[in-house]
């Protein structure tokens, strides 16, 4: 009860594996997980950042706040927080203004993400200060997802007056913000899906097709 569709599906898969094991041991004669009816997933209304809040974050980032820089990179790339925290420096191509790879799905791991002009100075900032293989290795805050969310994220939003009672703004909301803003700006669905890692990016000899990168850039740059 109250679990996401993804979590419920994982529980069903575990039950199925247990039943399969029991069948091999002649403990059960059928896989009872096959008879489970998963609950209907109700649509969830997600909070997103407003344009005024994004402007507040930009002013703070331009004044040198690293956490605001990270939040804006998330908002303009659609990356999951852990994807950015674990992004390697060698996955960032400042000549082409793109970042490669992600996590979670095959499509996510093979995707290309455009570095929007708004966040390019922030990506350059972290790339220049990297002290290890990770892009954010020079970040003075927390590189562990839960610690970042509890401390850096929460404190920054409170300091900027972005949080309010009854509002649930967590790092994944940057992903919803990206999708919402991209749709509003007229970015085509294919570019949104590719950026968010929901579909495979065209590959030729393990190199992203240049025409596709240019088209993706022109779409993502519709964002203000």
**Interval 109-147: pLDDT, tens:** 567 899 999 999 999 999 999 999 999 999 999 999 999
State the DSSP string of 60-99: HHHTT-HHHHHHHHHHHH---HHHHHT-BGGGEETTTTEE
Pick the more confident residue, 178 or 46. 178
C-beta of residue 61 within 8 angstroms of C-beta of residue 76: no
How many helices (H) and strands (E) the chain has is answered by 11, 5
pLDDT at 203: 38
Read off the pTM. 0.75
Per-residue pLDDT averaged across 175-182, rounded? 90
Per-residue pLDDT averaged across 88-102, rounded? 90
**Interval 3-27: pLDDT, tens:** 777 788 899 999 999 999 999 999 9
Mean pLDDT for all residues in the chain: 86
Report the DSSP beta bridge partners of residue 203: 208
**Interval 31-49: pLDDT, tens:** 999 998 888 766 556 788 9
Map out the domains of the chain as residue ranges: 5-35, 51-220
**Interval 190-222: pLDDT, tens:** 888 888 886 544 433 333 344 467 777 888 888
Interhelix angle 173-185/66-77, rounded to 10 degrees, is 50
Give the right CATH number for 51-220 from 3.10.20.30, 1.10.357.10, 1.10.443.10, 3.30.365.10.
1.10.443.10
Interacting residues of 86 by C-beta distance below 8 A, sequence separation 6+: 103, 134
Q: Give phi and psi for 5, each to the nearest 5.
A: -60, -40
Does residue 106 carry a pLDDT above 80? no
Three-class SS of residue 147?
Answer: helix
pLDDT at 199: 56
Alpha carbons within 13 A on the beta-carbon side of 5:
5
């Amino acid at each position: 009860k109250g679990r996401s569709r993804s979590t419920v599906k994982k529980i069903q898969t575990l039950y199925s594996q247990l039943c399969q094991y029991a069948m091999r041991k002649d403990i059960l004669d059928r896989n009872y997980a096959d008879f489970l009816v998963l609950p209907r997933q109700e649509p969830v209304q997600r909070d997103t950042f407003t344009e005024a809040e994004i402007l507040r974050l930009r002013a703070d980032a331009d004044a040198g706040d690293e956490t605001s820089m990270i939040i804006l990179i998330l908002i303009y790339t659609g990356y999951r927080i852990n994807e950015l925290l674990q992004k390697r420096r060698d996955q960032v191509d400042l000549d082409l203004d793109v970042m490669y790879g992600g996590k979670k799905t095959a499509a996510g791991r093979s995707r290309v993400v455009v570095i929007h002009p708004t966040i390019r100075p922030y990506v350059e900032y972290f790339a220049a200060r990297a002290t290890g293989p990770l892009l954010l290795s020079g970040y003075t805050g927390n590189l562990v997802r839960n610690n970042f969310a509890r401390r850096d994220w929460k404190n920054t939003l409170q300091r900027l007056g972005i949080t309010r009672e009854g509002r649930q703004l967590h790092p994944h909301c940057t992903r919803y913000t990206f999708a919402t803003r991209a749709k509003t700006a007229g970015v085509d669905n294919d570019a949104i899906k590719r950026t968010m890692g929901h579909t495979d990016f065209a590959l030729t000899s393990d190199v992203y097709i240049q025409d596709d990168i240019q088209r993706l850039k022109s779409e993502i740059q519709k964002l203000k």
